């Protein structure tokens, strides 16, 4: 019987036309090229991560899901729609602007078979001076006015731009028009989905030299023109040993915490816990072991792990499933 322990995975790296090399700053070793995404914890047909530590080293998250099931992931640790791990954890390096995009809800009829909708959140790890993102629509934009703006080349005039700095968080429910822009590195917690509808891509060529596909009709269909419930917040000034809830959705809860010294914590039987180390370093201890932790690492703590301890000086995100 395998005793529960924190799982660390080999990331799946994705080359993107907007990517760069910033993930190397977290001690990661992406392949050559414009690397935009590190899929840190993933159980998806387009990328599945493999454990690199402990007794389960070499096994994919999909294998662990099948073999250890609800005992490790918790009574709510599966997508009811496709049986897979319910979340996808990424680090994103935005060396250039991402396409302007929007994601569907779970019940959109145009979803690929077996695919989920995509509600997500961002935590800004680093941002160059003057960096910004696109986050929602300007007041009064309708399906008709956006369609007209797409046809006459003025769609950027319909979008809301927001300046960003490290520590900012953005909750992006399905239906929110959004785009990360150049100079931003973020941690992304999202539903386990790879469905994105591109509205606009700056008329640039993709990695193959051809324009990337746009999805105008799907985008207009899924955009929440009346508002999606998107929220943003600054997270500075947080004291050590307390959690600040920075995103709450039907699919995940995300909290930010500051480790300064030793912090005793617990998992619950209902849900696994995901820890993202945003900065700093220290140790993660549990009954039966301990390991060094550093910025850029993402750990999957089984629901049945129980008590664990964080030590050192670090900023962490804690994600789990809502009740």
Catalytic residue numbers, as ranges: 198
Token pair in block for residue 35: 């690397």
Residue pair 152/145 in contact by the 8 Å Cβ criterion? no
Q: Would you report the helix, strand and coil content of the chain in percent, each value rounded to 5?
A: 10, 45, 45
Count of residues for the chain?
323
Q: What is the 3-state secondary structure (H, E, C) of the chain?
A: CCCCCCEEEECEEEEEEEEECHHHHHCCCCCCCCEEEEEEECEECCEECEECCCCCCCCEHHHHHHHHHHHHHCCCCCCCCCCCCCEEEEEEEECCCCCEEECCCCCCCCCCCCCCCCCEEEEEEEECCCCEEEEEECCCCCHHHHHHHHHHCCHHHHEEEEECCCCCEEEECCCCCEEECCCEEEEEEEECCCCCEEEECCCCECCCCCECCCCHHHHHHHCCCCCCCCEEECCCCCCECCEEEEEECCCCEEEEEEEEEEEEEECECCECEEEEEEEEEEEEEECCEEEEEECCCEEEECCCCCEEEEEEEEEEEEEECCC
Q: Determine if residue 120 is labeled as part of a ligand binding site.
A: yes
Three-state DSSP class for residue 307: strand
Strands 12-20 and 243-248: unpaired
DSSP state of 211: B
- Cβ count within 10 A of residue 323: 8
- Which residue positions form the known binding site for Zn(2+)? 103, 120, 178
């Amino acid at each position: 019987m395998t005793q529960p322990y924190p799982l660390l995975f080999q990331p799946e790296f994705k080359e993107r036309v907007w990517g760069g090399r910033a993930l190397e700053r977290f001690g990661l070793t992406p392949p050559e090229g414009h690397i935009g995404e590190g899929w840190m914890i993933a159980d998806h047909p387009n990328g599945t991560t493999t454990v690199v530590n402990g007794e389960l080293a070499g096994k994919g998250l999909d294998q662990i899901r099948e073999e250890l099931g609800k005992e490790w992931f918790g009574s709510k640790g599966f997508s009811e729609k496709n049986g897979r791990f319910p979340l996808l954890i990424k680090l994103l390096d935005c060396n250039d602007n991402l396409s302007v995009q929007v994601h569907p809800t779970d019940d959109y009829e145009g979803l690929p078979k077996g695919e989920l909708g995509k509600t997500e959140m961002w935590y800004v790890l680093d941002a160059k001076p003057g960096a910004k993102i696109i986050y929602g629509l300007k007041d009064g934009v309708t399906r008709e006015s956006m369609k007209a703006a797409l046809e006459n080349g003025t769609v950027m005039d319909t979008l809301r731009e927001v300046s960003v700095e490290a520590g900012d968080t953005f909750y992006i429910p399905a239906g929110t028009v959004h785009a990360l822009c150049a100079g931003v590195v973020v941690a992304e917690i999202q539903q386990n989905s790879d469905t994105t509808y591109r509205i606009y891509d700056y008329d640039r060529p993709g990695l193959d030299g051809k324009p990337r596909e746009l999805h105008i009709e799907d985008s207009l269909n899924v955009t929440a023109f009346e508002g999606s419930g998107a929220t943003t917040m600054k997270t500075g000034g947080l004291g050590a040993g307390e959690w600040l809830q920075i995103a709450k959705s039907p699919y995940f809860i995300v909290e930010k915490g500051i480790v300064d010294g030793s912090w005793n914590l617990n998992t619950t039987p209902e849900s696994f816990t995901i820890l993202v180390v945003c900065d700093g370093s220290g140790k993660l201890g549990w009954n039966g072991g301990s390991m060094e932790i550093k910025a850029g690492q993402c750990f999957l703590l089984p629901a049945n792990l129980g008590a664990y301890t964080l030590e050192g000086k670090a900023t962490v995100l804690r994600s789990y499933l809502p009740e």
